[in-house]
Amino acid sequence: MSPASPESTPEKRGWSGRLGAFFYQRLGLDGLAALAAKKHVPVHRTTLFYFLGGMALFLFAVQVATGILLSLYYKPSPDQAFESVRAIMTEVDFGWLFRSIHSWSANLLIGILFLHLLTTYMMRAYRRPREITWMTGVVLLGVFMAFGFSGYLLPWNQLSFFATRVGTAIAGSVPVIGKYALLMARGGEEITGDTLARFYALHVVILPLATIGLIGLHLFLVQKHGISSPEGVIRKHGGEERVPYMPFVPHFLLRDMVGWYLALGILAALAALFPWELGHKADPFGSAPAGIKPEWYFLFMFQALKQLPANLGGIEWLEGEMVGVLFFGFCGLVVLLVPYVDFGASRGRPRWVLNFLAALAVGFFIFMTAWGLR
């Protein structure tokens, strides 16, 4: 970025213009303006999919804003966590609104990220040189799922307590490292105040830092490599540079903003009409609530693991849950490495096998989730 010069500063009149020019010069915004002017968004039949990334970013910003407000009142200890969330819901001005928006926004965010991943796959946007862009996106999805898992425990209610017990126990079934992972996650053998403290630290410090880094890298790569067009569109127009586009600023950004305002309205309506419930305070000595289940985005794994027998093929050491966890871990690895698993991506070859597996995975996700919700 070149240093700002009086020549590159737009002519401004009046006090607001002069103030703008003051910051324009000192912050070097001309470089940013040049960057924005260079950024284009391809225009074609599926341009709508490009809005998903911006929508995810907006929802993340909502999470950060509402999360900061909640952290002003939340007390991360087993004795006070539930009561503090209840106070947020009932005593703090607009506390109910911020908590409900935080919870609804988290769920919408994960849903948007799933769609973003799927549409990016469909457009084969992970093609060279965007492999790392894809991989940072996949890792970000995992990080946001971890956000959901850790945040679920924080209200310290009955459902979240036992769901966390089940969830961490599943992680504990991984061979070799499972036992250590479980101890590390729980801070001991059982779900206690130590677990709550760890999950809180994970939720408000570790994951946000990781997210900011990953989002920064993701956006940098998107800026560096530009926005990918689908192969068919490129072929139709005879080259990527010949694909019609619109400037990011202001054309795409304004459309993005329409989506953000729409999302804001939807969040407000969901929060007002369907406030996120609090449930009953966790009782570690009580029995697990009937029909215990995790958040919807973990349900496909939970439901599948439930169907597995204790031991596969009658072999004692071949535990069903362990095999299931390893299988899902392997699937996650395959998704992460899709740019390299899709061998013909750079040469534009069809990917029938991969598409079949992807369709199978999506069908499996929808079926298992619907089954689990039933």
Partner 1 sequence: MHGAMPTLVKLRAGAMPTLVVGMFLPVVLAAALAPAAAAAEPKPPAGQPQPGPNNCILCHGNKDVWEGEQLKLFVTEADLAGDIHWQSGMRCQDCHGGNSRAEEVRQAHAAEDGFRKVASPKDVPEFCGKCHADIEYMRRYRPSPRTDQLAEYWTSDHGRQLKTAGDLKVATCISCHDRPHGSGAERAKHGVRPVSDPASLVYRTRVAKTCATCHSDQKLMAGRLYHAQPLPCDQYDKWTRSVHGKAMLEKGDLSAPTCNNCHGNHGAVPPQVDSVANACGTCHGKVAKLFAGTRMRHKFESEGLPGCATCHGSHEIHQPSDAMLGMQSGAVCARCHEQGKFGATLAGAETARKLRSDLERLKGGIEQAQDTLSEAERLGMEVSQPQFTLRKASDALTNARSLIHAFQPDPVEKALAGGQEVVAEVQEQADHALAEHTSRRIWLAASLAPILLVILLLLLYIRSLPAATGGAG
Q: What are the phi and psi torsion angles at 246 (to 5°)?
A: -125, 150
Nearer to partner 1, 63 or 158 (CB): 158
**Per CB under 8 A, does 154 bind partner 1?**
no
Is residue 268 involved in binding partner 1 (CB under 8 A)? yes
Stretch that binds partner 1, among 216-224, 230-238, 313-321, 339-347 (CB under 8 A): 230-238
Q: How near is the Cβ of 269 to partner 1 at its closest, in Å?
A: 6
Q: Which residues, 6+ apart, have CB-to-CB distance to 231 below 8 Å?
A: 124, 127, 348
Burial (CB < 10 A; 0-12, 13-18, 19+), residue 239, is exposed
Nearer to partner 1 (CB atom), residue 147 or residue 248? 248
Residue 219, sorted as left (phi over 0), alpha (psi -120 to 50) or beta, turns out to be alpha
| Nearest distance from C-beta of residue 71 to partner 1, angstroms | 19
In this chain, which stretch among 143-151, 255-263, 357-365, 366-374 interacts with partner 1, using CB under 8 A?
A: 255-263
Distances (CA, A) of 238 to 40, 43, 266, 348: 18, 15, 41, 14
| Nearer to partner 1 among residue 262 and residue 366 (C-beta) | 262
| Residues 160, 153: Cα–Cα separation, whole Å | 5
For the segment 270-329, give every residue that binds partner 1 (CB under 8 A): 272-275, 277-278, 280
Residues found in the chain: 374
By the rule CB under 8 A, 241 interacts with partner 1: yes
User: Is 114 in contact with 297 (CB distance < 8 Å)?
Assistant: yes
Interface of this chain with partner 1, residues 90 to 149, rule: CB under 8 A:
90, 96
Q: Convert residues 182-221 into a mask of x (bound to partner 1 by CB under 8 A) and - (unbound).
A: ----------------------------------------
Closest separation in Å from C-beta 257 to partner 1:
6
Which residue ranges make up the site for partner 1 (CB under 8 A)? 40, 42-43, 86, 89-90, 96, 236-238, 241-247, 250-251, 254-255, 257-258, 261-262, 264-265, 268-269, 272-275, 277-278, 280
